[in-house]
Amino acid sequence: MPTVSLAPWQWLTSRLPQVASAPFCPSEVQGSIRVPPGAPLWKRAALSAGPGLLVAVGYMDPGNWATDIEAGSRFGYDLLFVVGATGLAALLLQALAMRLGLVTGRDLAQMAHDHYPRPARLVLWLLAELAIVATDIAEVLGAALAFHLLIGVPLWAGVVLTGFDTLIVLGLKGHGFRQIEAIVLGLVTTIAVCFVAQLALVHPDWHAVAHGMIPAPRRLGDHEALYLAIGILGATVMPHNLYLHSSAVQTRRGGTTQADLTDQLRLAGLDTTVSLALATLVNGAILVVAGAAFHATGHTDVAQIDDAWRLLTPITGAGAAAMLFGIALFASGQSATFTGTIAGQVVLEGFLDLKIPCWQRRVITRGLALVPALAGLMWTGDCAVGTLLVFSQVVLSLQLPFAIWPLLRFTGNRAIMGRHASGPVMQALGWALFALISAANLWLVWGWLVPA
């Protein structure tokens, strides 16, 4: 038979996966990890752990760094209570998302597809995709900055290098969620260890740190402080994480009785609480490091991550501080790569009932992030990375109410959730949070439209 000659691009695409495959397509691996109902508590807890960690990664991405560093530099420890409050808000919303996924067997995007008309579904899908792209822009900028700081490449070249992380997605094709969770755990541990070491180097005033943790809304009277607080909120309570969590918890399979379901909810709640507590501590550590290293030494205008990196060594007198900072930044950007791709698959499959190969999903998401990241650098210059990062997190905050609304409606509906529907207290807290976020967003937009 005659040999058919293929063009290079045809040869390449013929060897790429043509169907959705684990680990980046949760619908393909649901139930892949069995949690035996009769196993000891410690074993059930260990097998149930993981989905919360995937979600927590999003709370440590480079966007959080930008907001926390600028907040610590400008206001010291004054906005530390915002980090704590947003951590609690994240815990409430992620617990609801986890509960929705386990009780209904459907994720938040699928529930919206089942209960909302097509126009509403399309709007929610577009907003969710915008949130994912905004997150990916932060990952691109953060990873590019890490490349720049650690190996000295120009920022634009670092941005281009981040496009090759699609190869990571291809390399992990066919691996289960457990392997991905182990990789993420290693990256998260790296971030945490680096910041614990930096805290030891900067010697913060722990009395002032404790004072900063006391809620004081008057500290948000300054428009810039409010802007940063909203950025912290958007960086912490990410809209797409609600979709991701409601899907990822379904990768565990337990018993089929109501008692088994109650046990699964309890174990998943423990996983969520521990994971988000770790993420909140890391975020708090970033702000405390910035407050101790910069605000306390008179450097109140540090708004760029690279400026923070350069100042750490002369201020602390330890070259290891800057190296630890760069390594943690790189680990942060890489860990968020996994969850961004998974979340993209969840919203695409859920809202549109459409499956595409995961490498295509990754290419689309990263392509949409690379263009504005490169354009922003070329338009505003390298010095604007921190500004772009903070702005991307504010965009997330603006999208957040559109994910909270359906989540609260579904989890409070007894016809959907049965006896596991959220009670009056949790619903009241959820709607109060929805109102607070919406009001803060409106005030921020009004400040942009009608400057003082």
**Residue 371 above 60 pLDDT?**
yes
Query: Cα 77 to the chain's mean position, in Å?
Result: 23
Sign of CA dihedral 405, 407, 408, 410: positive
pLDDT at position 110 is 92
CA dist 354 and 348 (Å) reads 6
The region of weakest confidence among 77-81, 160-164, 301-305, 317-321 is: 317-321
The region of weakest confidence among 8-22, 143-157, 438-452 is: 8-22
Per-residue pLDDT, averaged over 142-163, amounts to: 79
Tell how many helices (H) and how many strands (E) occur in the chain: 20, 2
**DSSP summary character for residue 30:** T
- For 7-33, b/e burial (b = at least 16 CB within 10 A) is eeeeeeeeeeeeebbbbbbbbbbbebb
CA atoms within 13 Å, Cβ hemisphere of 26: 32
pLDDT at position 10 is 46
State the pLDDT confidence band at 400, using cuts at 50, 70 and 90.
confident
pLDDT at position 8 is 46
Per-residue pLDDT, averaged over 166-195, amounts to: 70
- The two three-digit tokens of residue 414, written as one number: 């007894």
3-class DSSP assignment, residue 33: strand
pTM: 0.82
CA dist 355 and 372 (Å) reads 26
**Residue 301 above 80 pLDDT?**
no
Residue ranges and CATH numbers for the domains of the chain are: 23-413+421-449 (1.20.1740.10)
pLDDT at position 308 is 74
- The two three-digit tokens of residue 307, written as one number: 């400026």
Per-residue pLDDT, averaged over 161-175, amounts to: 61
Which range in 112-116, 165-169, 281-285, 316-320 is most confidently predicted, on average pLDDT? 112-116
Give Cβ neighbours of residue 66 (< 8 Å, ≥ 6 apart): 138, 231, 235, 305, 385, 386, 389, 390, 393
pLDDT at position 94 is 93
Give Cβ neighbours of residue 79 (< 8 Å, ≥ 6 apart): 71, 72, 212, 219, 225, 228, 229, 232, 287
The region of weakest confidence among 98-107, 290-299, 315-324, 392-401 is: 315-324
pLDDT at position 25 is 54
pLDDT at position 102 is 92
pLDDT at position 181 is 75
Q: What is the DSSP string of 204-234?
A: --HHHHHHHTS--GGGG-SHHHHHHHHHHHH
CA dist 139 and 376 (Å) reads 14
Stated as kind and residue range, the H or E segment containing 34 is strand 33-34
pLDDT at position 3 is 47
**Residue 327 above 60 pLDDT?**
yes
pLDDT at position 19 is 41
- As a whole number, the mean pLDDT across the chain is 79
The region of weakest confidence among 168-182, 239-253, 260-274, 359-373 is: 168-182
pLDDT at position 123 is 92
Per-residue pLDDT, averaged over 421-429, amounts to: 92
State the pLDDT confidence band at 33, using cuts at 50, 70 and 90.
confident
Return the percent helix, strand and coil in the chain, to nearest 5: 80, 0, 20
- The two three-digit tokens of residue 25, written as one number: 């397509």
pLDDT at position 390 is 66
**Residue 251 above 80 pLDDT?**
yes
pLDDT at position 450 is 65
Per-residue pLDDT, averaged over 15-44, amounts to: 61
pLDDT at position 381 is 65
- The two three-digit tokens of residue 81, written as one number: 């209570």
Per-residue pLDDT, averaged over 198-211, amounts to: 87
